[in-house]
A and B are shown apart, each in its own frame.
Chain A
Amino acid sequence: MNAAASPPPRHHVIIGNGVAGNQAAELLRDRDPASRVTILTHSRLLFYNRYLLPGIFQDMANWPELLAHPPEHYAARRIHVRRECRVSAVDPRNRLVKLAHNETIPYDTLLVATGGRGHLPEELAEYRPLFHHFGSYEAAMATRRALPERGAVVMLGGDMIGLDLARTLLAIECRVILVTHETTFWPHALTPEERTNALATLVAMGIEVIDGDARGGVAAVEPGAPGLPARRVVFHNGADLYGDVVMPCFGLTPMVEFMVGTGIDIERGVLVSPQLRTSDPHIFAAGDVCQIWSEEEHAYRFYYGYRNVRAMGEVAAINMTGGQEAFATNRVESLGHDAQGRIDSSFWVYDE
């Protein structure tokens, strides 16, 4: 009876069910076969491909078509996906994740990969119930249901997520009205000349571009009047316009609220080293939620796009299992044109 008791399997906990979290989970399973791998997400759905969401405005009606893996994949890979779980806090000292429903989950290593939510400027926050969203399957479906055939969509801001959808909307003969904002073309940072050219391209594509600044910015969003589209956008200069749906497209805000108070360094996102370590040795961050130290720029910065985020998931998994790999990217974040003269973006690149 002298057999040494084997240590309990390590528990890798991942907060977030997106590209980074799932990529990390797959690699953690490979690199640490005896471990427990748990993904925590507030979503009801398993990991699905958000890059395919515009498709639901065309012919992709059923969410199972969006899933990255069939349900049985998770059992086979022993990846425990906990859905409908909201993380309320993290306790780094005791290495516990606290869930909103009063459950505590111990971890050995923790990966924060919660991504970002659609940013809404403070002055528009009170109109949140009147906006239509695109950040999840459920939100996208609600928007689709609100949009009549050949209806009008008002996009405030016009980040690259919204512009991706705009391409689909144009294809199904919807009217797309873009109200420009400083976040137009987010996350691309364009020179004035590049921006002017890009806006001209949008017009050529069929998007109606309205200069938001020239109208003093959006003052209010209201329900439409009888006989008119369902929403009215009012500008500070008194002008207005109508649309069946109004979508805020102002870029993403990292979801880090539950990390406040942990002592982990946070700026806009969770600050991490190139190895994706936070200031706690057991906590890592990856994806749209983190700002990575850039030696070249001597600053923490975000890296967006499917390829970058997936690479971050891989790097995090390697380092959560003892590696020392640094995140590096040679992907040019560029806004260009495709063969048809439409805008094209590295942000939209998705590899199956």
Chain B
Amino acid sequence: MTTMSKTDIQIAICGSAGDGTIAAGDILRNAVAAAGYRVIGFDVYPPEIRGFGKCISRLRISTDQSYSLKRHSDVLLSLDDSQALPHAGEVRDMGAVIFESQPIAPCQEGEHMSARVLPGQIPYAFSMRELSQQATGGGRARNLVALGIIAGLLGLTPDPFRAIIARKFGKQGPEIVARSLAGFQAGFDGATRTFKLDDVFFSPPGQADTAQRVIMLSGNAAVARGCLDAELDTFFGYPITPATSIMERLAAELPKHGRRLLQTEDEIAAIAATIGAGYAGARAATATSGPGLALMSEMLGLATITETPCVVFVSQRGGPSTGMPTKTEQSDLNAALYGSPGDACRIVIAPTNVEGCYRCAGKAFEMAERYQTPVIVLLDLYLSNRYETVTLDESDHAFVLDANKPLPRLEPGETYRRYALTEDGVSPRAVPGDAGHMHVITGLEHNELGRPDDSETMHAAMSRKRHDKLQAALRHPEFAVTRRFGATGRVKVGLLAWGSTFGECLEAMFMAQAQNIPCAALKVVMLSPFPVREVASFMDDCDQVLVPEINHEGQFAQLVQGTLARPVTRLSRVPGSPMPVELILNEIRRLAQG
């Protein structure tokens, strides 16, 4: 047995919907974050509301920042063996498999977790139900007993758990809090009496001063926080997995700041209202997923042609159609880039981690207003639901929120030209109520005044204007459209990735480097307009370019090849879950050998 010098522990909690699996994961990640560890976590839950289907909460706890979940967990806790059995093999050798020793229902041979524990793993059977009943008078606190077991077995201090449990259940009254704490304590005491045989140990967390600046956020929570820090005025939305929690958070927060949120009757109304608010001068946004984006596509063209700032957060899920609402995928890239009739250009950016969600959210409003265009922020379920400890300094709040060009002083008799053809393509924007700046807007092609004009000359000029002005977004202040990691100079393999998959790419790259494979990774955040120069420069340095992404068609690879006409190796998979790091690593090895 060896004690790890730095903590890098992944814990998976698995149960059925209704077992409190996700709640347990939530308490655990907040407790370890409060203790000063870095956390990255991801919950998988079924499309059904309750009583059916599998829930898994996985979290990786580390001393230093991690970029993805690991393939193998160090600990698996089963709250329901019928769901957790297939996951026993995910635990590494000498890792711990914790399960219920007194399940209610009889089971046939092989249906209990003890049948699936591999010889190299360490089994721990606890009577979680009985402990819960003894401590709380019922079995509902079984998930808290389980948390106590994890804390006790791994030697975690119980105080952060107690504080978070008290906070989480505080609204339900002191009796519930007391029962919940009793359940946790029962598990904790039971585990501390258990002889530990596994080699999963926590080493002390990082510096305390760093821990104090770290907060725990999900991708969607970070988006909501970014919206708030960017002083979002109005949000319009219609619920859809996995974007709903953005609206839920803003619904709680916006009114506190005197701002408004409206749940509309559908996605078409949501985008229409967002554009309308933007036209009226309000900072406005909506959030949806792939099916909702499809409904919004026509109205997004309106925002493009009217040059109205608006921000759309799109969290992708498995498709097409209703598809797999609770599974992650990166298959809405084409819809985000091209999904409107006409040459409906727009800005599309994609954060790669939770901190990026915050920054992209704020920057999206900057860009929407500076370039007078719709901006799509492309997330996915993995990123939306992923929890990470992030450090948000005060300086991170500095979004430039007053990007509008000053309105021109109009001479007597002069008419305001809302769509004036300027050198950078961006026209001074007036909003209703700006004295003397009355103008027409329409979905029809128009002239500089905004009046309908379908002449060839004007359509060509306006088309050029709408496209050219976006090029400036590639140089948007304090926004890295791409960022290179790993080796500098020439490398055997270059990873080109976007969105949530970049974390897995980064982990794979570090592992490849540890195996002496010269490689680098380029994170591409700006997807439209495409950062041709940066991507081409990176590819110049690479013998081979690998593009991992979670979709079947290789949509990003198509974008790269279509734009640069250069070969790439595609690694396109649709597992409904994050891309396995080992899969990327194997492909790196294969390419490096070739």
Q: Which of B106, B108, B114, B124 contacts A85 (CB 8 A)?
A: B114
A-B contact pairs, 29 of them (CB 8 A): A44-B122, A44-B195, A72-B119, A72-B120, A75-B118, A75-B119, A82-B115, A83-B114, A83-B123, A84-B99, A84-B117, A84-B123, A84-B125, A101-B100, A101-B101, A101-B102, A101-B103, A102-B102, A102-B104, A102-B107, A103-B106, A103-B112, A103-B115, A104-B106, A104-B108, A138-B195, A138-B197, A141-B195, A142-B195
Beyond A71-B93, A85-B114, is A100–B119 a contact (Cβ under 8 Å)?
no
B197 touches A45 (CB 8 A): yes
The total number of A-B Cβ pairs within 8 Å is 72
A84 touches B124 (CB 8 A): yes
B117 touches A103 (CB 8 A): no
**Nearest-CB residue, chain A, relative to B107:** A103
**Nearest-CB residue, chain A, relative to B117:** A83
A106 touches B103 (CB 8 A): no
B125 touches A101 (CB 8 A): yes
Q: 6 closest A-B pairs (Cβ-Cβ)?
A: A71-B119, A71-B120, A138-B195, A84-B125, A84-B123, A74-B119
**Nearest-CB residue, chain A, relative to B102:** A101
| Least CB distance, B2 to chain A, in whole angstroms | 9
B108 touches A82 (CB 8 A): no
Contact with B along A34-58 (1 / 0, CB 8 A): 0000000000111000000000000
**Nearest-CB residue, chain B, relative to A36:** B109
Complex contacts, B93 vs chain A, CB 8 Å: 71
A85–B120 Cα distance when bound, in Å, is 17
Contact-size category for B: 20 to 34
Q: How many residues of A contact B (CB 8 A)?
A: 28
Q: Which of A44, A75, A82, A102 contacts B197 (CB 8 A)?
A: A44
Contact with A along B177-221 (1 / 0, CB 8 A): 000000000000000000101000000000000000000000000
A101 touches B114 (CB 8 A): yes
| Least CB distance, B543 to chain A, in whole angstroms | 38
Binding site for A on B (CB under 8 A): 1, 93, 99-109, 111-112, 114-115, 117-120, 122-125, 195, 197
**Nearest-CB residue, chain A, relative to B123:** A84
A44–B100 Cα distance when bound, in Å, is 14
A81–B123 Cα distance when bound, in Å, is 11
Determine whether A336 belongs to the interface, using a CB cutoff of 8 Å to chain B.
no
Additional 12 contacts, C-beta under 8 A, given A44-B124, A83-B114, A102-B107: A44-B195, A63-B197, A71-B93, A75-B119, A82-B115, A84-B125, A101-B101, A102-B102, A102-B106, A103-B108, A103-B115, A104-B106
A62 touches B108 (CB 8 A): no
| Least CB distance, A247 to chain B, in whole angstroms | 18
A64–B102 Cα distance when bound, in Å, is 29
Complex contacts, A80 vs chain B, CB 8 Å: 115
A167–B113 Cα distance when bound, in Å, is 41
Complex contacts, A105 vs chain B, CB 8 Å: 109
Q: Which of B1, B103, B120, B124 contacts A102 (CB 8 A)?
A: B103
A103–B108 Cα distance when bound, in Å, is 6
| Least CB distance, B113 to chain A, in whole angstroms | 9
Determine whether A99 belongs to the interface, using a CB cutoff of 8 Å to chain B.
yes
B119 touches A81 (CB 8 A): yes
Complex contacts, A64 vs chain B, CB 8 Å: 1
A82 touches B119 (CB 8 A): no
| Least CB distance, A15 to chain B, in whole angstroms | 14
Complex contacts, B114 vs chain A, CB 8 Å: 82-85, 99, 101, 103
Complex contacts, B104 vs chain A, CB 8 Å: 102
Contact with B along A104-148 (1 / 0, CB 8 A): 111000000000000000000000000000000010011000000
| Least CB distance, B98 to chain A, in whole angstroms | 10
- Give the contacts of A65-111 with B (CB-CB under 8 A): 71-75, 80-85, 99-106
**Nearest-CB residue, chain A, relative to B99:** A84
A80–B116 Cα distance when bound, in Å, is 10
**Nearest-CB residue, chain A, relative to B127:** A101
Complex contacts, B1 vs chain A, CB 8 Å: 62-64
- Give the contacts of A194-220 with B (CB-CB under 8 A): none
| Least CB distance, B359 to chain A, in whole angstroms | 46
| Least CB distance, B85 to chain A, in whole angstroms | 12
